[in-house]
């Protein structure tokens, strides 16, 4: 531009503006470098720097890992003790006795031959007392068809409680552990059978 020429009024000093913006950007980069963090940026207008989203994401992941490490491992479910109560012909259980342990294989035939059955949570006093079952001291003979009440304690039989069909009992009978006979007596009459399911 010659001495006689004049700068147009609407022409902006672009070079000077860019130089200012460049200086601001350099200053921010230098400040970020000193802090050991390079995730800041400045827009072309020289406005306030913004945090990059990935830094926030990394902090969230780190916090989640910290929370997970403080969580205690879940404990296994506790066993649910139950009483399996059945009324069967004497010949089916004549070889058994109170306090005798039973395997799953032993229990399934007793269920199959039961005329009445019920599985409830472990209670005190025993259910036969609450149900007012009447017993006789007569022996349980192998060739007899007289009804016998048997109560089998199963340490972990929660899935059997409330089942209304023998199949449901056997399906939920624990694969391991079996049970123990806690009551075995001949019935004197039909009292109390309304508390059982009938097959």
Q: What are the tens digits of pLDDT across the range 134-143?
A: 999 999 999 9
The upper half-sphere exposure of residue 184, i.e. CA atoms within 13 Å in the direction of its Cβ, equals 21
pTM: 0.63
pLDDT tier for residue 36 given thresholds of 50, 70 and 90: low
pLDDT tens for each residue of 54-96: 555 556 656 666 665 566 667 778 889 999 999 999 999 999 9
- CB of 96 within 8 A of CB of 184? yes
- In the predicted model, what is the mean pLDDT of the chain? 80
Q: Which of 64, 44, 45, 41 is nearest to 53 (CA)?
A: 41
pLDDT at 112 over 60: yes
User: Higher confidence at residue 126 or residue 61?
Assistant: 126
Question: What's 190's DSSP letter?
Answer: S
How far is it, in rounded angstroms, from Cα 55 to Cα 45? 23
What is the spatial distance between Cα 132 and Cα 91, in angstroms, rounded to a whole number? 24
pLDDT value of position 167: 94
């Amino acid at each position: 531009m010659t001495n006689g020429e004049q700068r147009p009024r609407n022409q902006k000093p672009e070079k000077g503006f860019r130089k200012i913006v460049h200086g601001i950007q350099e200053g921010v980069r230098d400040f970020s470098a000193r802090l050991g963090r390079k995730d800041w940026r400045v827009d072309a207008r020289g406005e306030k720097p913004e945090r990059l989203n990935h830094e926030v994401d990394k902090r969230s992941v780190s916090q989640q890992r910290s929370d997970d490490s403080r969580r205690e491992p879940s404990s296994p479910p506790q066993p649910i003790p139950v009483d399996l109560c059945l009324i069967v012909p004497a010949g089916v259980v004549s070889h058994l006795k109170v306090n005798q342990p039973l395997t799953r294989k032993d229990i399934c035939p007793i269920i199959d031959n039961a005329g009445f059955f019920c599985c409830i949570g472990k209670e005190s006093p025993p259910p036969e007392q609450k149900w007012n079952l009447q017993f006789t001291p007569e022996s349980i003979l192998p060739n007899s068809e007289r009804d016998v009440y048997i109560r089998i304690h199963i340490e972990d039989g929660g899935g059997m409680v409330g089942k209304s069909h023998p199949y449901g009992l056997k399906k939920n009978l624990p694969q391991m552990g079996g049970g123990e006979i806690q009551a075995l007596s001949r019935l004197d009459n039909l009292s109390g059978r309304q508390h059982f399911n009938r097959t």
